[in-house]
Amino acid sequence: MTRNPFDPEFSHLPAMMPIFPLAGVLLLPRARLPLNIFEPRYLAMVEDALGSGRMIGMIQPLDPAGREREPAVYSCGCAGRITSFAETDDGRCLITLTGVARFEIGREVEGARGYRRVVPDWRPFRTDLEPESCGDIDRNRLLGVLKTYFRVQGLSVDWKSIESTLDERLVNSLAMICPFTPGEKQALLEAPTLAERGKLLIGLVEMAILDSHDGDGPPPKH
Protein backbone atom coordinates (compact mmCIF):
# COMPACT_ATOMS: atom_id res chain seq x y z
CA MET A 1 0.00 0.00 0.00
CA THR A 2 1.29 3.49 -0.88
CA ARG A 3 2.56 5.43 2.10
CA ASN A 4 0.54 8.49 3.11
CA PRO A 5 2.79 11.55 2.59
CA PHE A 6 1.51 12.97 5.89
CA ASP A 7 2.58 9.91 7.92
CA PRO A 8 5.53 10.81 10.16
CA GLU A 9 8.83 8.99 10.07
CA PHE A 10 9.77 7.20 13.28
CA SER A 11 12.37 9.86 14.10
CA HIS A 12 9.71 12.57 13.76
CA LEU A 13 7.23 11.13 16.26
CA PRO A 14 6.62 13.66 19.05
CA ALA A 15 8.68 13.61 22.24
CA MET A 16 5.68 14.89 24.21
CA MET A 17 1.99 14.43 23.46
CA PRO A 18 -1.46 15.09 24.94
CA ILE A 19 -3.51 12.10 26.03
CA PHE A 20 -7.27 11.66 25.92
CA PRO A 21 -8.42 9.03 28.48
CA LEU A 22 -11.65 7.44 27.26
CA ALA A 23 -13.02 4.10 28.47
CA GLY A 24 -14.10 1.53 25.91
CA VAL A 25 -12.67 3.47 22.97
CA LEU A 26 -9.99 1.84 20.86
CA LEU A 27 -7.74 3.31 18.19
CA LEU A 28 -5.34 1.19 16.12
CA PRO A 29 -2.75 2.06 13.47
CA ARG A 30 -4.22 3.29 10.18
CA ALA A 31 -7.79 2.97 11.49
CA ARG A 32 -10.04 6.00 11.84
CA LEU A 33 -11.82 7.15 14.98
CA PRO A 34 -14.46 9.92 14.92
CA LEU A 35 -14.71 11.96 18.13
CA ASN A 36 -17.16 14.54 19.43
CA ILE A 37 -15.21 17.01 21.59
CA PHE A 38 -17.11 19.29 23.98
CA GLU A 39 -15.25 19.56 27.32
CA PRO A 40 -13.31 22.85 27.53
CA ARG A 41 -10.03 21.14 28.40
CA TYR A 42 -10.29 18.81 25.42
CA LEU A 43 -11.34 21.63 23.11
CA ALA A 44 -8.09 23.30 24.23
CA MET A 45 -6.22 20.05 23.58
CA VAL A 46 -7.54 19.86 20.01
CA GLU A 47 -6.72 23.52 19.40
CA ASP A 48 -3.14 23.02 20.62
CA ALA A 49 -2.72 19.77 18.68
CA LEU A 50 -3.84 21.43 15.45
CA GLY A 51 -1.03 23.93 15.88
CA SER A 52 1.62 21.35 16.77
CA GLY A 53 1.78 18.12 14.79
CA ARG A 54 -1.92 17.19 15.11
CA MET A 55 -1.16 14.17 17.35
CA ILE A 56 -3.28 12.98 20.29
CA GLY A 57 -2.80 9.81 22.33
CA MET A 58 -5.93 7.75 22.96
CA ILE A 59 -5.70 5.72 26.14
CA GLN A 60 -8.11 3.94 28.49
CA PRO A 61 -8.60 4.53 32.24
CA LEU A 62 -7.82 1.50 34.38
CA ASP A 63 -11.26 1.82 36.01
CA PRO A 64 -13.84 2.27 33.23
CA ALA A 65 -16.51 3.20 35.78
CA GLY A 66 -14.38 5.75 37.63
CA ARG A 67 -15.31 9.42 37.75
CA GLU A 68 -11.95 10.95 38.65
CA ARG A 69 -10.92 14.03 36.70
CA GLU A 70 -7.46 12.54 36.17
CA PRO A 71 -7.89 8.76 36.39
CA ALA A 72 -5.10 6.22 36.46
CA VAL A 73 -4.62 4.94 32.92
CA TYR A 74 -3.18 1.89 31.18
CA SER A 75 0.48 2.13 30.26
CA CYS A 76 -0.22 1.49 26.56
CA GLY A 77 -2.26 3.61 24.15
CA CYS A 78 -2.33 4.54 20.48
CA ALA A 79 -1.56 7.92 18.96
CA GLY A 80 -3.67 9.34 16.19
CA ARG A 81 -3.26 12.27 13.85
CA ILE A 82 -6.15 14.70 13.37
CA THR A 83 -7.14 14.15 9.75
CA SER A 84 -10.58 15.79 9.83
CA PHE A 85 -11.89 18.78 11.76
CA ALA A 86 -15.19 20.65 11.90
CA GLU A 87 -16.85 23.09 14.29
CA THR A 88 -20.50 23.07 15.36
CA ASP A 89 -22.76 26.00 16.18
CA ASP A 90 -23.11 24.83 19.79
CA GLY A 91 -19.37 24.95 20.53
CA ARG A 92 -18.27 21.40 19.85
CA CYS A 93 -15.49 20.08 17.60
CA LEU A 94 -15.98 17.03 15.43
CA ILE A 95 -12.65 15.42 14.61
CA THR A 96 -11.34 12.22 13.12
CA LEU A 97 -8.14 10.62 14.36
CA THR A 98 -6.23 8.32 12.05
CA GLY A 99 -4.09 5.86 14.01
CA VAL A 100 -0.34 6.29 13.64
CA ALA A 101 1.40 4.09 16.22
CA ARG A 102 0.95 2.61 19.66
CA PHE A 103 3.05 3.87 22.56
CA GLU A 104 3.99 3.11 26.14
CA ILE A 105 3.87 5.94 28.64
CA GLY A 106 7.45 6.80 29.53
CA ARG A 107 6.32 9.32 32.13
CA GLU A 108 3.58 11.84 32.65
CA VAL A 109 4.57 15.52 32.63
CA GLU A 110 2.83 18.71 33.66
CA GLY A 111 -0.41 19.23 31.79
CA ALA A 112 -1.45 22.26 29.80
CA ARG A 113 -4.77 24.14 29.80
CA GLY A 114 -6.42 21.37 31.81
CA TYR A 115 -5.44 18.36 29.69
CA ARG A 116 -2.75 15.78 30.43
CA ARG A 117 0.52 15.20 28.61
CA VAL A 118 3.01 12.34 28.52
CA VAL A 119 6.44 11.49 27.20
CA PRO A 120 5.69 8.49 24.95
CA ASP A 121 8.01 5.58 24.34
CA TRP A 122 7.49 4.56 20.70
CA ARG A 123 10.27 1.97 20.53
CA PRO A 124 8.20 -1.18 21.31
CA PHE A 125 5.89 -0.37 18.39
CA ARG A 126 8.23 0.80 15.67
CA THR A 127 6.70 -1.70 13.22
CA ASP A 128 3.32 0.07 13.53
CA LEU A 129 4.65 2.55 10.98
CA GLU A 130 5.20 -0.12 8.35
CA PRO A 131 2.59 -0.60 5.57
CA GLU A 132 -0.44 -2.69 6.48
CA SER A 133 0.13 -6.40 6.13
CA CYS A 134 -1.91 -9.22 4.61
CA GLY A 135 -1.90 -13.00 4.79
CA ASP A 136 -1.47 -13.35 8.57
CA ILE A 137 -5.14 -13.95 9.37
CA ASP A 138 -7.28 -17.10 9.17
CA ARG A 139 -9.85 -15.30 7.03
CA ASN A 140 -12.09 -18.31 6.51
CA ARG A 141 -12.49 -18.84 10.23
CA LEU A 142 -12.89 -15.11 10.88
CA LEU A 143 -15.56 -14.67 8.21
CA GLY A 144 -17.35 -17.78 9.43
CA VAL A 145 -17.67 -16.57 13.01
CA LEU A 146 -18.59 -13.08 11.84
CA LYS A 147 -21.53 -14.41 9.83
CA THR A 148 -22.86 -16.17 12.92
CA TYR A 149 -22.13 -13.16 15.15
CA PHE A 150 -23.88 -10.65 12.91
CA ARG A 151 -26.86 -12.97 12.49
CA VAL A 152 -27.15 -13.38 16.27
CA GLN A 153 -26.91 -9.60 16.68
CA GLY A 154 -29.52 -9.04 13.98
CA LEU A 155 -27.13 -6.92 11.92
CA SER A 156 -27.07 -6.59 8.16
CA VAL A 157 -23.64 -6.04 6.59
CA ASP A 158 -22.11 -5.62 3.16
CA TRP A 159 -20.31 -8.96 2.83
CA LYS A 160 -18.72 -8.08 -0.51
CA SER A 161 -17.05 -5.11 1.11
CA ILE A 162 -15.91 -7.19 4.09
CA GLU A 163 -14.51 -9.95 1.89
CA SER A 164 -12.49 -7.45 -0.18
CA THR A 165 -11.03 -5.60 2.82
CA LEU A 166 -7.33 -6.13 3.54
CA ASP A 167 -6.44 -8.18 6.63
CA GLU A 168 -5.18 -5.39 8.85
CA ARG A 169 -7.99 -3.00 8.03
CA LEU A 170 -10.58 -5.71 8.59
CA VAL A 171 -9.20 -6.89 11.92
CA ASN A 172 -8.52 -3.40 13.29
CA SER A 173 -11.90 -2.04 12.21
CA LEU A 174 -13.73 -4.97 13.82
CA ALA A 175 -11.68 -4.66 17.00
CA MET A 176 -12.70 -1.01 17.25
CA ILE A 177 -16.42 -1.27 16.43
CA CYS A 178 -17.44 -4.54 18.10
CA PRO A 179 -18.98 -4.04 21.58
CA PHE A 180 -16.21 -5.69 23.58
CA THR A 181 -15.46 -4.76 27.20
CA PRO A 182 -12.78 -2.14 27.93
CA GLY A 183 -10.46 -4.90 29.15
CA GLU A 184 -10.97 -6.89 25.96
CA LYS A 185 -10.35 -3.75 23.89
CA GLN A 186 -7.08 -3.21 25.76
CA ALA A 187 -6.01 -6.78 25.09
CA LEU A 188 -6.66 -6.26 21.37
CA LEU A 189 -4.60 -3.06 21.48
CA GLU A 190 -1.68 -4.72 23.19
CA ALA A 191 -1.59 -7.81 20.94
CA PRO A 192 2.02 -7.77 19.66
CA THR A 193 1.25 -8.69 16.05
CA LEU A 194 -1.65 -8.55 13.63
CA ALA A 195 -1.79 -12.35 13.60
CA GLU A 196 -2.17 -12.46 17.39
CA ARG A 197 -4.78 -9.71 17.32
CA GLY A 198 -6.69 -11.68 14.70
CA LYS A 199 -6.65 -14.84 16.82
CA LEU A 200 -7.80 -12.90 19.87
CA LEU A 201 -10.56 -11.21 17.86
CA ILE A 202 -11.85 -14.58 16.63
CA GLY A 203 -11.83 -15.93 20.19
CA LEU A 204 -13.74 -12.91 21.53
CA VAL A 205 -16.36 -13.16 18.78
CA GLU A 206 -16.77 -16.90 19.46
CA MET A 207 -17.25 -16.22 23.18
CA ALA A 208 -19.80 -13.51 22.39
CA ILE A 209 -21.74 -15.99 20.26
CA LEU A 210 -21.72 -18.58 23.06
CA ASP A 211 -22.73 -15.99 25.66
CA SER A 212 -25.67 -14.92 23.51
CA HIS A 213 -27.05 -18.46 23.66
CA ASP A 214 -26.59 -19.15 27.37
CA GLY A 215 -29.87 -20.57 28.61
CA ASP A 216 -31.45 -20.42 25.16
CA GLY A 217 -30.49 -23.85 23.89
CA PRO A 218 -27.87 -24.58 21.24
CA PRO A 219 -26.70 -21.89 18.79
CA PRO A 220 -28.30 -21.84 15.34
CA LYS A 221 -26.84 -24.12 12.71
CA HIS A 222 -24.68 -22.63 9.97
29-45 confidence digits (pLDDT tens): 999 999 999 999 999 99
Q: CB count, 10 Å around CB of 131? A: 12
For residue 131, the surrounding DSSP H or E stretch is none
CATH superfamily ID and name for 10-129: LON domain-like (2.30.130.40)
This prediction's pTM: 0.89
pLDDT of residue 153: 82
Q: What H or E segment, with its residue span, contains residue 36?
A: strand 32-37
Structural domain boundaries in the chain? 10-129, 139-214
Other CB atoms within a 10 A radius of the CB of residue 98 amount to 19
pLDDT in tens, 170-221: 999 999 999 899 999 999 999 999 999 999 999 999 999 998 766 454 444 4
- Report the run of H or E that residue 30 belongs to, with start and end: none
Give whole-number Cα distances, 182 to 60, 75, 186, 220, in Å. 8, 14, 6, 28
Residue 27 burial (10 A CB sphere; 0-12, 13-18, 19+): buried
Pair 7, 100: CB distance under 8 Å:
yes
Q: pLDDT per residue over 124-171, tens digit each? A: 999 999 877 666 789 999 999 999 998 888 878 888 888 888 899 999
Cα separation, 87 vs 40, in Å, equals 14
